[in-house]
Amino acid sequence: MSNPIEAAWLDAIEQRLPRTLEVDPDLELRLVCGSDQAGQPMFCSISSLKPGIPELSREVDVTRTQRSIDGHWVLLLTLKAPKFSDVFVQLCAHIVDRVSETSSEAQGLAAFMSSVEEWRALLQASPSQRLSLEATRGLFGELWIGFSNLAQECSVGHVMDAWHGPFQSDQDFQFPDGLLIEVKTVHGRSRKIQISSENQLNRLPNERLFLCVVTVEDALADTPDVWTVPELLRHIEQRLQDSGNSNSELKRRLLELRFDPSDEVYADMHFLPIGHRFLEVVDAFPRIEPAMLPIGVSRVSYSLDLDDLAPFESEITKLGLPSTEPKVSSNES
């Protein structure tokens, strides 16, 4: 990025003035920088080709729109946290440098996307990242329900295949016959549960959805019947081995979670499972679904009062879990 343009952009950011600046009219891909009406730093590409939507961070809003005036596409990066303005400008300068080396609009878009990915890969957390106590407790709840309860009614292989929670799926367990189970881990004193999106309790007509609320207390190491997540994982590995299943899928999910069982911090987190309840999400179940939301509204989170969910109580035997052992994977870890 040329110094005059960068200096003018930084000046507009500092004064929080709405202003747009063409980076370089000679580039094959049009690039514009400036500040929006709210004074937030912005950077965008304008192209006849439809761009992808890159991932950055929660501090940068990424939007893609098509202009009605000429049908061209705008890929807009808007910084929401002013304290990162200098870093944001450096990222955009890197994009400009990469785009300037290309000789077509398509190459320019590819350079734009790869530049963002390079920064994201550079700054993302390492594969081993400690989970918070709350997140670790939630993981314990999923593992406890899945492999100490569901696996009593069906095979441990089926449970492993169905465990999609680490992949950020809408429900934690998704069985191939349409059975969906979402797990919520709470303290004994909790009276509400948090639903993270309008999709979490949404199901298709041919699907059956159950909400499992598992009660787990934090405990001292010498409390009877307490577990740590690493202890529970060793128990699961043994069950997989005894049933002739590879533990490669378990390792893949832990890697996805960036959970390192050997990290000593998890050995000091002791959990005591108190109980659980299954609730069937039928038509009358109180929830927000995508069809209820106005166009443009998404990622709606809300809470449910546990006392109001008593009419939907169910039992594990009514879930209709698969009873046969899936084919054993031949790919050993």
Looking at the fold, whether 90 and 216 belong to one and the same domain comes out as no
**Residue 309 CB neighbour total at 10 angstroms:** 18
Q: Which two tokens stand for residue 52?
A: 């992808």
How would residue 154 be classed by pLDDT, with cut points 50, 70 and 90?
very high
Q: Are strands 60-66 and 73-79 parallel, antiparallel or unpaired?
A: antiparallel
The answer for residues whose C-beta is within 8 angstroms of residue 71's C-beta and 6 or more apart is: 48
Q: What single-letter amino acid sits at 275?
A: G
The tokens 């990242």 sit on which residue? 129
Contact 162, 143 (CB under 8 A): no
Q: How far is residue 186's CA from residue 200's CA, in Å, rounded to a whole number?
A: 17
Whether 221 maps to a domain, the answer reads yes
**Residue 51 CB neighbour total at 10 angstroms:** 18
Looking at the fold, whether 167 and 42 belong to one and the same domain comes out as no
pTM of the predicted protein model: 0.61
Looking at the fold, whether 164 and 310 belong to one and the same domain comes out as yes
Exposure string for 39-48, b = 16+ CB within 10 A, e = fewer: bbbbbbbbbe
Looking at the fold, whether 167 and 274 belong to one and the same domain comes out as yes
> What are the backbone angles phi and psi of residue 89, rounded to the nearest 5°?
-65, -40
Residue 325 has pLDDT above 80, yes or no: no
Contact 96, 23 (CB under 8 A): yes
pLDDT given for residue 324 in this prediction: 57
Looking at the fold, whether 185 and 273 belong to one and the same domain comes out as yes
The tens digit of pLDDT for each residue in 273-313 reads 999 999 999 999 999 999 999 988 988 999 999 999 999 99
Whether 73 maps to a domain, the answer reads yes
How would residue 123 be classed by pLDDT, with cut points 50, 70 and 90?
low
Residue ending a domain, choose from 101, 123, 145: 123
Whether 248 maps to a domain, the answer reads yes
**DSSP line for 139-173:** HHHHHHHIIIIIHHHS-HHHHHHHB-GGGT-SSSE
Looking at the fold, whether 178 and 296 belong to one and the same domain comes out as yes
Looking at the fold, whether 238 and 301 belong to one and the same domain comes out as yes
User: What total number of domains does the chain contain?
Assistant: 2
Whether 118 maps to a domain, the answer reads yes
Whether 228 maps to a domain, the answer reads yes
Whether 332 maps to a domain, the answer reads no
Residue ending a domain, choose from 123, 143, 158: 123
**Nearest Cα to Cα of residue 201 among 185, 182, 178:** 182
Looking at the fold, whether 153 and 297 belong to one and the same domain comes out as yes
Residue ending a domain, choose from 123, 146, 164: 123
The tens digit of pLDDT for each residue in 219-271 reads 999 999 999 999 999 999 999 999 988 889 999 999 889 899 999 999 999 99
Element (H, E) at 220: none
Residue 10 has pLDDT above 90, yes or no: no
Region of residue 227 (left: phi > 0; alpha: psi -120 to 50; beta: else)? beta
Q: What number of H helices and E strands is found in the chain?
A: 8, 12
Looking at the fold, whether 290 and 159 belong to one and the same domain comes out as yes
Whether 128 maps to a domain, the answer reads no
**Nearest Cα to Cα of residue 143 among 235, 71, 217, 51:** 235
Whether 326 maps to a domain, the answer reads no
Q: Which two tokens stand for residue 1?
A: 């990025």
Looking at the fold, whether 143 and 284 belong to one and the same domain comes out as yes
Contact 240, 161 (CB under 8 A): no
Residue 2 has pLDDT above 70, yes or no: no
Contact 203, 285 (CB under 8 A): no
Q: Which structural domain range is residue 102 located in?
A: 3-123
Q: Average of pLDDT values for 185-193?
A: 93
pLDDT given for residue 328 in this prediction: 42
Residue 331 has pLDDT above 80, yes or no: no
Residue 327 has pLDDT above 50, yes or no: no
Looking at the fold, whether 73 and 175 belong to one and the same domain comes out as no
Looking at the fold, whether 95 and 156 belong to one and the same domain comes out as no
